[in-house]
Amino acid sequence: MSELTPFDTLWNYSDPAGTEQKFREILDKEDIRSDLSYHLQLLTQIARTYSLRHMFTEAHAMLDEVKTALPEADLANVRYHLERGRTHNWQGEKENARAEFESALAISEALKTDFYSIDTLHMLAIVSKPDEAIVWNLSAMHKAETSTQEKAQNWLGSLYNNLGWGYFDKGDYDKALEIFQKGLTWQQDRSREKETLIAKWTIGRTYRAIGRLEEALQLQVDLEKESKVQDGYISEEIGECLLALDRKEESKPHFAKAYGLLKEDKYLQRFDAERLKRLSELSL
């Protein structure tokens, strides 16, 4: 069974509105209704463009439309439950999200669609507490490492990142560092520039957590030079490292830069407003 449909290549998660437009062009120009599964899968992804923009009413309405036509034991069914769960998760409704992800996992496992089983396992980790999240991520990682499906194997970079954060959130920084370093090697071996930068950042963040402050600072300063775009998270980490080193005045412009770059971030606005407040206060 094909793991991805052709329209999946059009996804730009940084531009959900633009992605919606591309998906709707397919709806308008192609006679896809003869392939019910394809049509319904496309609708689930339009719903996802809504949830990424926090247009939850629209997302649920689209998914309600999909639900009325769902065939049993079909990939469209998996993707319906995944996107319904993701929408609930964005709304902060963890238990509702979990129920949807569990349904998606059962169907994807029956269909042997490794890519979507891994997607579902990683989402179950996201809605779980640290100890349980580690178990889900380990399960996803094992499936990706042993799968014969290339698309499933491509999950590994993200899974190393997620598993590392699972250990980090638990306070097991040594294990987190081990996994983050494994993820960095994986990304470097595939010459993925953006993902390599993120992997390096996670290592620097862990250095700070375990008190290796000078190393953490130098790594983030090097990343700032290496990055092709201004990155608020790098600026924030430089500021935090300087602050931890009792170099408060030096930290202020970095916190100010971080706040300027991150203050419009919808995720932070919704789920981590205190972090933005802290950046603003530390910039003064």
Quick: pLDDT tens for 157-198. Answer: 999 999 999 999 999 999 999 999 999 999 999 999 999 999
Helix axes 75-90, 114-126, angle to 10 degrees: 20
180: tokens are 């983050």
The CATH code belonging to domain 1-111 is 1.25.40
Residues with pLDDT less than 50, the chain = 1-2
Return d(Cα 59, Cα 65) in angstroms, integer.
10
Which pTM value belongs to this model?
0.86
pLDDT at residue 32, as a whole number: 57
- From residue 178, how far is each of 8, 144, 164, 199, 205 by CA, in Å? 33, 19, 8, 12, 13
Question: What is the number of other CB atoms lying within 10 angstroms of the CB of residue 8?
Answer: 13
Q: What is the mean pLDDT of the chain?
A: 94
Domain range summary for the chain, segments of one domain joined by +: 1-111
**Residues 161 and 176: beta-carbon distance below 8 Å:** no
Q: Which of 24, 120, 141 is nearest to 77 (CA)?
A: 120
Phi, psi of 157 (to 5 degrees): -60, -45
Phi, psi of 134 (to 5 degrees): -60, -40
Return d(Cα 93, Cα 90) in angstroms, integer.
7
**Residues 100 and 116: beta-carbon distance below 8 Å:** no
pLDDT at residue 96, as a whole number: 98
pLDDT at residue 147, as a whole number: 94
pLDDT at residue 266, as a whole number: 82
